[in-house]
Amino acid sequence: MSKKFAKELASIGIVTVSGMALGVDTYVHKYTMESGGKTIAVLPCGLNNIYPKNNIELYHSIIDNGGLVITEYEPDEKADSNKFLERNRLVSALGECLIITEAAYRSGTSVTARYAKEQGKPVFCVPSGLDNRCGIGTNKMIKNGAILLSGISDIFEELKNQRMNEYVENYKKNSKKSIENIPTGCEKLYNLIRTEPTSIDYIFSKLREPISEISYKLTLLELEGLITTMEGGFYEKSY
211-237 per-position pLDDT tens digit: 889 988 998 888 777 888 887 888 888
Which residues span the domain enclosing 215?
A: 181-237
Same domain as 202, residue 151: no
Domain count, the chain: 2
In terms of DSSP H, where are the helices of the chain? 2-11, 24-34, 56-64, 81-94, 108-118, 136-143, 152-158, 162-180, 187-192, 200-207, 211-223
103-137 per-position pLDDT tens digit: 988 788 989 999 999 999 999 999 988 888 889 99
88-109 per-position pLDDT tens digit: 999 999 999 999 999 988 788 9
Q: What percentage of residues in the chain have a pLDDT greater than 70?
A: 90
DSSP secondary structure code for residue 18 in this structure: E
In DSSP terms, 68 is beta-bridged to 40
User: Would residue 215 count as lying in a domain?
Assistant: yes
CATH code, domain with 65: 3.40.50.450
User: In Å, how far are 11, 84, 111, 194, 226 from 236, measured between CA atoms?
Assistant: 16, 33, 31, 6, 9
Sheet of strand 98-100, all strands in order from the earlier edge strand to the far edge: 98-100, 123-125, 147-148
Same domain as 73, residue 11: yes
Same domain as 211, residue 100: no
Compute the average pLDDT of residues 27-39.
95
Same domain as 95, residue 126: yes
Compute the average pLDDT of residues 68-97.
95
pTM above 0.75, yes or no: no
Residue 184 and residue 111: Cα distance in Å, rounded?
49
Helix axes 81-94, 108-118, angle to 10 degrees: 40
User: Would residue 59 count as lying in a domain?
Assistant: yes
139-194 per-position pLDDT tens digit: 999 999 999 998 888 888 888 765 667 666 766 666 655 566 788 889 889 888 87
User: Would residue 167 count as lying in a domain?
Assistant: no
User: Would residue 175 count as lying in a domain?
Assistant: no
